[in-house]
Amino acid sequence: MSSYSLKLFKKAAKELPAYKSFLNQNGFKADTVSTEVDFRKVPITSKKNYLVPNKLDDLVWESDRATALLLCATSGSTGDPYYFPRNDELSNQYSYALEDFIKSSSYGKGRTLVIVGFGMGVWIGGVITMRAFELAGARMAEPLSILPAGYNKAEINKALRKLSPTYDQTIIVGYPPFIKELVDDAPKENIDLKKLNIRFLFAAESFNETFRNYVCEKAGVGNPILDTLNIYGSADIGAMAGETPLSILIRRLAIEDPLLYRDLFNQIERTPTLAQFNPKFIEFEAVDNDVVLTANGALPLIRYSIGDHGGVMDFQTIQAKMQKYDINLEAEIQKAGIQKLVKRDHPFVFVYERADLSVTLHGLNIYPEHIKEGLLSPDMTDFFTERFTMATKYDVHHNQFLQINIEMQKDVADSSKLNKHVKKSIHDSLVQRSSEFAEVAKTRDADELIQIVLWENGHPRYFSPGTKQKWVEKP
């Protein structure tokens, strides 16, 4: 535990009305905490038990309540938005990771164009990324230009045709499936990405190294280890950690040995994001395989359960585990030519996507409540029981879509007409309930985004009678 976390806890326990009340309700006395062991006993907060029950003014530092704040929104498991206040502290912290990324380019120095393809509305991704790039560019005094295109393929393609050729390199920022669409569509749009010195910054979900290699090869990316970066962030606290050349190298080495992979990440069935974090800005813990964080901002969070699953390791632990499998990490670092970029004092956090409450589609969360709305419309209830299981899937071309397996009422037969009917109802519900999905739906047809599979009543694959319904299919 860093002194940063202990100081933040002490300050919050003394100054924040909501946090003082939370500790009292849990029968915990702040003055009993003076060591790492003590801190690990502090009650864990969450959106449900801490943020939602309290007034926003009681959650925010008094000094920030009197200043200008930026508000960003996210939808909860019921689709209701929660508004997080921001000061510039989180953007400034994020800017250091972006500065490192800019400086690590395989193309060297030069004029850089950043095309931000995250949604630029009330959601945090686009706004905080644009601001962090601004801060990084100003501090570096680098020739950096930022185009906040948003989730808009037409505008991004225009920029790639007209603007990018006038720059030495272009960083495309976006959700992994969206970036893949841009890469796949480039030839049809008369865009030769291989002439533009492309780099990629991803966020919102994990992806495997096959995906990274695919988009890098098609776009002619100079070096996947140096020229790609996946950010681990959330609406709760912003950009919390990020891939580095070191973390990408480690994951690529681990994939080659299933035993090492399991030793590092506890399983081999799923691919976690492996990122490094700055302990001066944030601290992560793993509590029963759940990721818990402590971080400051206008709305500070102390031992906060973000709802993600994963673990935390330091450099020495990873190095020792790799040595067990005859991999000399220092030698691999030298071979990759990244020795000057390695930060051994920045711990690692690995994170699996949430597999219980939601699925991700193009960087946004899809919750069961959204699907239920579509199935509960008056013209649907005669055909369906409202039970379903959903999952994010990929077609043979690596395009992402939402597969929804739906249980029909007894004596109802599957048909293409019924399939099309329910798809439209669910699509309309998602557009209505999720502003993020509505933004994506402007650029993609329903048939590309959603696949419906209808099942007979009580089918044992997903709908065994008498069992609790699993809304999300486990990977």
Domain assignments of the chain as residue spans, ordered by start: 86-352, 359-455
- pLDDT at residue 77 in the model: 44
Say which range, 206-215, 294-303, 420-429, has the weakest mean pLDDT: 206-215
| Cβ proximity of 71 and 83 under 8 Å | yes
Mean pLDDT computed over every residue of the chain: 90
What is the per-residue pLDDT across 110-166, written as a single tens digit (0 to 9) for each? Answer: 999 999 999 888 877 888 999 999 999 999 977 999 999 998 989 999 999 999 999
pLDDT tops 60 at residue 375: yes
pLDDT tops 80 at residue 390: yes
* Cα–Cα distance measured from residue 325 to residue 350, given in angstroms and rounded to the nearest whole number: 20
pLDDT tops 80 at residue 392: yes
What is the per-residue pLDDT across 64-114, written as a single tens digit (0 to 9) for each? Answer: 888 878 888 875 544 567 888 888 888 999 999 999 999 999 999 999 999
Proportion of the chain above pLDDT 70, given as a percent: 96
| CA torsion, ordered 101, 107, 108, 114, to nearest 10 deg | -50
User: What pTM was estimated for this model as a whole?
Assistant: 0.81
How far CA 320 is from CA of 207, 263, 276, 337, 449, in Å, comes to 26, 11, 17, 21, 43
Say which range, 76-90, 113-127, 189-203, 400-414, has the weakest mean pLDDT: 76-90
Residue type, 77: S
* Cα–Cα distance measured from residue 132 to residue 127, given in angstroms and rounded to the nearest whole number: 9
pLDDT tops 90 at residue 386: no
Higher confidence at residue 29 or residue 65? 29
Give residue 378's pLDDT band: very low, low, confident or very high (50, 70, 90).
confident
Right CATH number for 86-352 from 3.40.50.12780, 3.40.50.300, 1.10.10.10, 1.20.1250.20? 3.40.50.12780
Higher confidence at residue 358 or residue 334? 334
Longest distance between any two alpha carbons in the chain, whole Å: 69
Give residue 168's pLDDT band: very low, low, confident or very high (50, 70, 90).
very high
Mean pLDDT of 261-273: 84
225-251 core/surface letters (b: 16 or more CB in 10 A; e: else)? bbbbbbbbbbbbbbbbbbbbbbbbbbb
DSSP 3-state assignment of 88?
helix
Comparing CA positions, the residue from 91, 134, 188, 125 lying closest to residue 439 is 125
Say which range, 9-23, 129-143, 267-281, has the weakest mean pLDDT: 267-281
CATH 1.10.760.10 is the classification of domain 359-455: no
Provide the CB-side half-sphere exposure for 278 (13 A, CA). Answer: 14
What is the per-residue pLDDT across 435-455, written as a single tens digit (0 to 9) for each? Answer: 788 888 888 887 889 999 999
- pLDDT at residue 75 in the model: 56
* Cα–Cα distance measured from residue 298 to residue 338, given in angstroms and rounded to the nearest whole number: 35
pLDDT tops 90 at residue 334: yes
- pLDDT at residue 23 in the model: 98
DSSP alpha helices (H): ranges in 273-349?
A: 315-324, 329-336
Mean pLDDT of 318-324: 97
DSSP string, 230-290: EEEEETTTEEEEE--HHHHHHHHHHHT-HHHHHHHHS-SSS--EEEE--TTTEEEEEETTE
| Cβ proximity of 47 and 80 under 8 Å | no
Identify the top-confidence range among 167-176, 234-243, 442-451: 167-176
* Cα–Cα distance measured from residue 156 to residue 182, given in angstroms and rounded to the nearest whole number: 8
Say which range, 58-62, 87-91, 111-115, 261-265, has the weakest mean pLDDT: 87-91
DSSP string, 381-403: TTTEEEEEEEEEEE-TT--EEEE
Handedness of CA 422, 424, 430, 433 (dihedral sign): negative
Higher confidence at residue 97 or residue 356? 97
